[in-house]
Structure 1
């Protein structure tokens, strides 16, 4: 199929983008006649290449679907655009930066992040690799790799798989530290904390302790089990839904109101309180992951 692409390209921007581009077109032109270059690529590809050369609107990487004529964004098209960029030596810092920005917001980043990860490795774009690794953990139905797999090393592929395993375990690690007393959660707890001197004494303190600001709370068992349930649910299906899963909330409510008539009457308010706290719990986990730099993506470059 033959495509005709008519694009007006400022000479200065052309020359800055690629030395090859600067030699393809004659500088001579009139008001009515523009220099012409014959290229092998199809028009949608050339359009996206030019958009990546200019500061301004990023390309959406849309191309016409030959099956139905609809405009769609495909991984194949993105990959072909970047391969053409290599062909024309589009390697400037500005071009690479715009290519990264466009990839980060592209639909394949959400639908096929593991394939975008392979592109990031190929072009040595760490920001793309990290974002793709994060998205791949949340991807419910990952598709198969394609030819792009041949362009990355076994090490970089194994690092993605290791990142995915660690990301699934991150809530479990956080909960373990909470249960061991290394992390204190005191933001709007879904139960009324009370001071328990017996537990405090069991930790080795005397009645005349000097650190009177130390708090020792006897957390209810149903809450501890709720934390474990969330960690397990996140391991099975990573994502925000694990923190507010209706089944887990209902199970926690049953445990909390068991053998307590007053609590049973306040079931709705307890559920709302627990749901609100679960959202704060998710934020606490994210902050911990960020501050402690828990997740690493050890790339080969």
Structure 2
């Protein structure tokens, strides 16, 4: 308030600023003026039809009637953005999101178009990354399948062991049943089982790959899932040629199982040689993935840099390795994204058994 106890009124930013095409102004509880078109808001809800119809022009600004709202600008702005043909709002604060949901219900805004825009905004907002457990409960309460699935997927990338702490769910936990919570718990368990299986199979297929380079089986005969395609391995056969005597890339090779991607109908499984630093990198990826089942684990830049540093350290005396260094790093980088997609696709096969009542 100013010295005369008059509120300081500010104008909202685009698309609700004074230059906007508008015929009415909504003034928020914290004295922010939003210039809007009545027609667009009336299309969204009969609430606005009544609001504008009952308004008396006691306050006029820029020849437009000013309507006093009870809502704070931090709530009113994202709500109006969802009603306008504009970029969706970014929700950083889940409590603001909850207020927007509550206000939209109060304003009787329940069209599929609006709810679709709201869910889309949530899916791409920081709240999905930071508050997936609370969003799962919110999604379950409102029967929003897409929110529940995205929140469940994101939640497993966080600390799984803390998933049942009440503080992670906030007050939203009181709005879902034990059966609803079990859906997420069971999803976490199945993802954890998958992560453990991936870690074990990555480990075992490498340790079991110590046989002859000509070892070959049909995929159907192999007891584990083979995670690596021969075309995706970042080290072609030519990689091991023309190295300096004593090069660790050649002396410390390991064998891993791969499948022949050239024959997808009936692929063979065989072993190929890879440098020790790549072998160690794969095993560490598997181990880390067991504890944090997410593609982010595979794409962890720290893990990648560790492998690169080991490659450079092991092969600093080899002229061929020094010459190929940039290509090695690029191929290894590309491989991590290929492998991340493979694992992510496998994780998508785990079903979230929603049962809205």
Question: TM-score of the superposition, structure 2-length normalised?
Answer: 0.59
The CA deviation string for residues 174-210 of structure 1, in whole angstroms up to 9 with x for no partner, is 46566335435213435667xxxxxxxxxxxxxxxxx
Pick which of 270-279 and 130-139 moved more.
270-279
The CA deviation string for residues 1-52 of structure 1, in whole angstroms up to 9 with x for no partner, is 9523433332322222112221122188899654554443223222222111
Contact 1:113–1:135 (8 Å) recurs in 2: yes
Pick which of 102-111 and 33-42 moved more.
33-42
1:54 aligns to what? 84
TM-superposed CA distance for 1:99, in Å, is 0.8
1:139 to 136, 143, 158: 158
1:161 aligns to what? 185
User: Is the strand fraction higher in 1 or 2?
Assistant: 2
1:44 aligns with 2:44: no
Structure 1 residues 38 and 213, CA gap change in structure 2 (3 angstroms): closer
Cα distance in 2 for partners of 1:88, 1:276 equals 54
Structure 1 residues 27 and 41, CA gap change in structure 2 (3 angstroms): closer
Contact 1:121–1:129 (8 Å) recurs in 2: yes
1:206 aligns to what? none
Cα distance in 1 for partners of 2:333, 2:177 equals 40
Pick which of 28-37 and 17-26 moved more.
28-37
Q: Secondary structure at the match of 1:217?
A: strand
Structure 2 matches for 1:188-203, cutoff 5 A? 188-189=232-233
1:283 aligns with 2:302: no
TM-superposed CA distance for 1:95, in Å, is 1.0
Q: Secondary structure at the match of 1:6?
A: strand
Cα distance in 2 for partners of 1:146, 1:37 equals 34
Structure 1 residues 160 and 6, CA gap change in structure 2 (3 angstroms): same
TM-superposed CA distance for 1:299, in Å, is 1.6
1:23 aligns to what? 50
Contact 1:53–1:95 (8 Å) recurs in 2: yes
2:271 aligns to what? 217
Q: Which runs of 5+ in 1 are unaligned?
A: 62-72, 194-211
Cα distance in 2 for partners of 1:247, 1:295 equals 31
Structure 1 residues 15 and 246, CA gap change in structure 2 (3 angstroms): closer
TM-superposed CA distance for 1:271, in Å, is 11
TM-superposed CA distance for 1:230, in Å, is 1.8
TM-superposed CA distance for 1:297, in Å, is 1.7
Contact 2:133–2:151 (8 Å) recurs in 1: yes
1:13 aligns with 2:40: yes
Cα distance in 2 for partners of 1:134, 1:156 equals 16
Structure 1 residues 277 and 228, CA gap change in structure 2 (3 angstroms): same
2:231 to 171, 187, 197: 187
Structure 1 residues 49 and 189, CA gap change in structure 2 (3 angstroms): closer
Pick which of 268-277 and 31-40 moved more.
268-277
1:4 aligns to what? 31
Aligned length: 267
Contact 1:117–1:128 (8 Å) recurs in 2: yes
Q: Which runs of 5+ in 2 are unaligned?
A: 2-28, 206-222, 238-265
